[in-house]
Amino acid sequence: MMLSLLIALPLVGALVVAFLPGRPGDVLPKWVALAFSLATLVVGAIIGIANADSGKTWAEEHTWIEPIGAHWALAVDGLGVTMVLLTVLLVPVVIGASWHDADARNTRGFFALMLVVESLALAVFCAQDVFLFYLVFEATLIPAYFLIGSFGHGPARTAAAVKFLLYMLAGGLVMLASVVALYAFSAREGAASYLISDLSGLTLSTNEERLLFLGFFLAFAIKAPLFPFHTWLPDTTGNATPGTSVLLICVLDKIGTYGMLRFCLELFPGASEWATPVVVGLALISIVYGALLALGQDDLLVLTGLTSLSHFGFIVLGIFVLNDQGVSGATFYMLNHGLATAVLFLAAGYLITRTGTPLLSQMGGVEKKAPVLAALLLLGGLGTLGLPGLSPFASEFLVMLGAFQYAWWVGAIAVTGIVLAAAYVLRAYRLAVTGPERESLAGIRDVGAREVAVVAPLVALMLLLGFAPQLALSVINPSSLRTVEIAGCVETAEQPCIQATEEVRP
């Protein structure tokens, strides 16, 4: 029952926070939300430690809706536990960093919605039943919509929330068709079920498998986001609070790449191999195009969001080169992107609060007045560009190894994304904090103890995993190898792990 407890804790916390008495700005809802998020962190850590020591999956399975073969089925492997640990770590960090973001609005509602996001995200990463996964996948849109539209700071926050919702609903409706088709195909074989373990043995024709794959992949590509389904991203990050952007980009968007690994590769391996050339092409476009957009961006929050378009391109590339290094690197990248981008978003938020503007052209000259803030922004930027010694470097390196093994020209194009990352990070840092001191910013203050304390664990983890990446890879590698094996790959130095499947897959 540990996984059910993990999911229930933040949900109970959200209900408690929502019904607390008080007015906007009261501190009690904040402390209660933080306490529940820390309790969830403890449960998540217990699950993670047990998984690392013994590979324990904490599996739970109970019949839920018997007529349609739906189950309350939960389990975590190396991939799932990595995402669980990232989620339970980031939520208390975001709560601490967003301490005053809703003081003039509905404080209880703001922090309750954050806990709802945590509960639903954890359910997604633990679900082993496709119907359960779909329900919580769609349910994440509700708190996300209100966090953007009701609590965002941008002038177009309502329009951004609607655009976000429409994109996600469109992807979800396409995936629903595939979910229903999976039920029909399983019933055709005499035992209707939504359990992933049952569906992995379905007999599908080539066309059936490819159509099911496309339904799932489109929803995940929008969620990730992947070019050309990314246009909701800059609007959202430019209008949401930095803490909300962390939850959206560093947690909820990982559902897209998690789904590609868990469903596309494991349930539809033949179709995944068939789609690989196109998906690799889209990933390369995302890497380069996202970096170029970030390089020319003046809004610091939008710039940070666009860096994720490039980074999700790297993650998708690692997944679909279909070899050990690529898949392990992509999973590790999902973790490291969450750490580095969270630091960058939160440091950007601290800076914008002090300067009163998100525009780089109106910042500058604050490094002498706020050296700690400048250091946090630099650390987030260096993590984003994959500096050796910080954990994103190891995951980026593994993805590049997988890309070069797939085809030398794929790796060569992907390298340009790394070069451009250095350019947009250093440009943003130069414009944001260096240069002559502006008279309008003469009274700026440095970050306080609370602001440093909430970001410090993320920085410490980037350093720890940068020098000891095996701490994470030892957990990730077994599930990555299993995924590659399910995809039917036989890896050699001379032959990429891609084989088209045209026959009916037993």
Looking at the predicted structure, is the pLDDT value of residue 240 above 90?
no
pLDDT computed for residue 136 by the predictor: 93
User: Could you read off the pLDDT of 277-288 as tens digits, one per residue?
Assistant: 999 999 999 999
How far apart (Å, rounded) are the C-alpha atoms in residues 147 and 367? 32
User: Could you read off the pLDDT of 340-392 as tens digits, one per residue?
Assistant: 999 999 999 898 888 888 888 888 778 888 888 889 999 999 998 888 989 99
Q: Is residue 505 very low, low, confident or very high in pLDDT (cuts 50, 70, 90)?
A: very low
Q: Is residue 485 very low, low, confident or very high in pLDDT (cuts 50, 70, 90)?
A: confident
pLDDT computed for residue 215 by the predictor: 92
pLDDT computed for residue 494 by the predictor: 37
Looking at the predicted structure, is the pLDDT value of residue 101 above 90?
no
User: Could you read off the pLDDT of 224-234 as tens digits, one per residue?
Assistant: 889 888 888 88
Distances (CA, A) of 167 to 137, 170, 197: 14, 5, 30
Tell me what percent of the residues of the chain surpass a pLDDT of 90: 44
Contact 383, 343 (CB under 8 A): yes
Looking at the predicted structure, is the pLDDT value of residue 319 above 60?
yes
pLDDT computed for residue 185 by the predictor: 84
Which range among 235-249, 310-324, 350-364 shows the weakest confidence by mean pLDDT? 350-364
pLDDT computed for residue 194 by the predictor: 84
Residue 279 in tokens: 């998906």
Instruction: Return the beta strands (E) in 347-492 as ranges.
Output: none
Q: Is residue 266 very low, low, confident or very high in pLDDT (cuts 50, 70, 90)?
A: confident
Q: Is residue 488 very low, low, confident or very high in pLDDT (cuts 50, 70, 90)?
A: low
Cis-peptide, bond into residue 225, ω within 30° of zero: yes
Distances (CA, A) of 425 to 138, 273, 303, 392: 34, 35, 9, 14
User: Could you read off the pLDDT of 135-186 as tens digits, one per residue?
Assistant: 999 999 999 999 998 888 878 889 989 999 999 999 999 999 999 888 888 8
pLDDT computed for residue 255 by the predictor: 92
Q: For the residues 441-453, what does the mean pLDDT come to?
A: 82
Q: For the residues 242-259, what does the mean pLDDT come to?
A: 91
Q: For the residues 475-491, what does the mean pLDDT come to?
A: 75
Select from 140, 168, 94 the least CA-distant residue to 346: 94
Q: Is residue 333 very low, low, confident or very high in pLDDT (cuts 50, 70, 90)?
A: very high
Q: For the residues 466-495, what does the mean pLDDT come to?
A: 74
User: Could you read off the pLDDT of 290-301 as tens digits, one per residue?
Assistant: 999 998 888 889
Q: For the residues 213-220, what does the mean pLDDT come to?
A: 93
Looking at the predicted structure, is the pLDDT value of residue 190 above 80?
no
Which range among 116-125, 149-158, 318-327, 393-402 shows the weakest confidence by mean pLDDT? 149-158
Region of 432 on the Ramachandran plot (φ > 0 left; ψ -120 to 50 alpha; else beta)? alpha
The angle at the Cα of 223, spanning 158 to 49, to the nearest 5 degrees, equals 115
Secondary structure string (H, E, C) spanning 442-464:
CCCCCCCHHHHHHHHHHHHHHHH
Residues 6+ apart with CB under 8 A from 201: none
Residue 30 in tokens: 């904040």
Averaged confidence pLDDT in the chain: 86
Looking at the predicted structure, is the pLDDT value of residue 339 above 90?
yes
How far apart (Å, rounded) are the C-alpha atoms in residues 308 and 319? 16
pLDDT computed for residue 506 by the predictor: 29
Looking at the predicted structure, is the pLDDT value of residue 192 above 80?
no
Tell me what percent of the residues of the chain surpass a pLDDT of 70: 94
pLDDT computed for residue 497 by the predictor: 43
Select from 57, 73, 114 the least CA-distant residue to 241: 114
According to DSSP, the residues that pair with 60 across neighbouring strands are: 74
User: Could you read off the pLDDT of 424-444 as tens digits, one per residue?
Assistant: 999 988 888 887 777 766 677
Q: Is residue 500 very low, low, confident or very high in pLDDT (cuts 50, 70, 90)?
A: very low
